[in-house]
Amino acid sequence: MQRISTWFLLIVALVGLGLGLSLTHKQVEARTGQGFAADSLLCGEEGGCEEVNTHARARIQLGSMEPIPVALPAFGFFGMVAILALLAALGAPNKQKPALAVIGACSVPALAFCAYLVFVQAAVIGAFCTYCLILDGLTVATAVLSALAHGGGVRNMLATLKPLPKGPLLLGIVVMMVLDGGLYGTYVHWVKDAGGAAPQRQLSDSGESERADDHAGHAHAKKDALSEAEALEEARKAVDEFLKTYPDVEPVNIEFNRFDGFKGNPDAQVIVVEFADFECPHCRLAGYFMKDIAHRYGDRVGLFFKNYPLGKACNEGITRDIHPDACEAAVATQCAGRQGRFWPFHDLAFDNQKALGTKAVVRIAGEVGLEVESFRTCLEDEGVWDEVRTQVAQGRGIGVRGTPSFFVNGRALPHAHPLFVEAAIRHELSTQGVTELPEDPDGLFPE
């Protein structure tokens, strides 16, 4: 029975190893907008896999490094279990019990982590990922099978751990570090490769993810597969399709506040309003783009920035904390504006969006030259929090449901792709008789 349990333990470990790798890759897909739609076998069309894996709690933030997906440590854990189980199955009797005892000991913190993740899914996210639950089940199976294979119960396993079997323990640690380190490097590579090709992600009233299936997103996603000429032609088609419907969009009345972020000419021929969230990756890209717009179009364009954090602390329209630190980051930017440093803080907050808690925003405040003590006091000012809540309410009142969202002279853009924003700006200027527009070397926009 003990020998059979050891071989079953090895099989469980190999399944967990493969599933940990698969789920880590799926977290890349979920994060970059590709989603879990094709995985109906396990998650179902209405399953919670995408919702769980795009949530902020699905990643572990360590300093300024790329966040670690919570599935990634499972790869190293099950790799360690597989090596030690193989050692126990093929090794001499004096090596079997120490290896199995180490597996049992390592299963304890693994089970605690699994229990925490199940709690987060149930109490915080309100949805369950089938892949994650299977990994949790495999972890439970690992603990049970290691005990059965060892024999003698918990007391006997503890006795085997005294003195500590250093050989199996060191082997397990090295295997986990090598596997997790290697997968983390691969994960970062995957994110960089996929991140630029991700379509915009928006959020519905319930906070559930939706993919913006627009032509421009597809053109960008195909960029690596197409030649430059083909990619440009795809982009031109996307712009043409957009401009067929844009003029028919009914403008909405947008109220501006003295506390909104603003740059450019307040009497400009084109006013662009952006609703954004400081933890939203696409908002960060939009920020770079709008800085370029402000530079190239000069006094002809004015830009208003309004906060629309996807956090429950300031956005009552969402049911879950999609971006838990976004509200405080928005308040921090308003506080920076009180000291005349709105845009420097805005830019640096986006540059540091992987870590935007209280300590981080205070550090950023010092870096942009704010008086830090006044800034700390401002972070707790309910009046400033109300400014952010006002911006959120204004956004919801005119139909904002996701970030980034753009309005050009009051007309809502269906998607926030940079091509569409600039196409709308050029259309607005052209209809007002402006003939001298910034250069368009790739011929992306109609004359």
pTM: 0.56
CA distance 367 to 382: 25
CA 356 from chain centre, in angstroms, equals: 13
Residue 272 backbone zone (phi > 0: left; psi -120 to 50: alpha; other: beta): beta
Domain of 34 in residue numbering reads as 2-195
CA 27 from chain centre, in angstroms, equals: 9
Examine the domain organization and report whether 300 and 338 are in the same domain: yes
Longest dimension (CA), the chain: 88
Examine the domain organization and report whether 238 and 191 are in the same domain: no
| Contact call for residues 79 and 106 (beta carbons, < 8 A) | no
Examine the domain organization and report whether 12 and 128 are in the same domain: yes
Examine the domain organization and report whether 233 and 147 are in the same domain: no
Would residue 184 count as lying in a domain? yes
Give the CB-side neighbour count of residue 155, counting CA atoms within 13 A: 1
Would residue 443 count as lying in a domain? no
The stretches in the chain having pLDDT less than 50 are: 33-35, 37-40, 194-225
| Contact call for residues 309 and 327 (beta carbons, < 8 A) | yes
Residue 43 backbone zone (phi > 0: left; psi -120 to 50: alpha; other: beta): alpha
Examine the domain organization and report whether 251 and 394 are in the same domain: yes
- The CATH number given to whatever domain includes residue 166 is 1.20.1440.130
Examine the domain organization and report whether 52 and 166 are in the same domain: yes
Would residue 300 count as lying in a domain? yes
The answer to whether the peptide bond before residue 93 is cis (omega within 30 degrees of 0) is: no
Examine the domain organization and report whether 190 and 223 are in the same domain: no
- The CATH number given to whatever domain includes residue 255 is 3.40.30.10
What's residue 32's pLDDT?
Answer: 53
Say if strands 59-60 and 68-69 run parallel, antiparallel, or are unpaired.
Answer: antiparallel
Handedness of CA 19, 210, 292, 266 (dihedral sign): negative
Examine the domain organization and report whether 292 and 158 are in the same domain: no
If one counts the domains in the chain, the total is: 2
Would residue 445 count as lying in a domain? no
Would residue 266 count as lying in a domain? yes
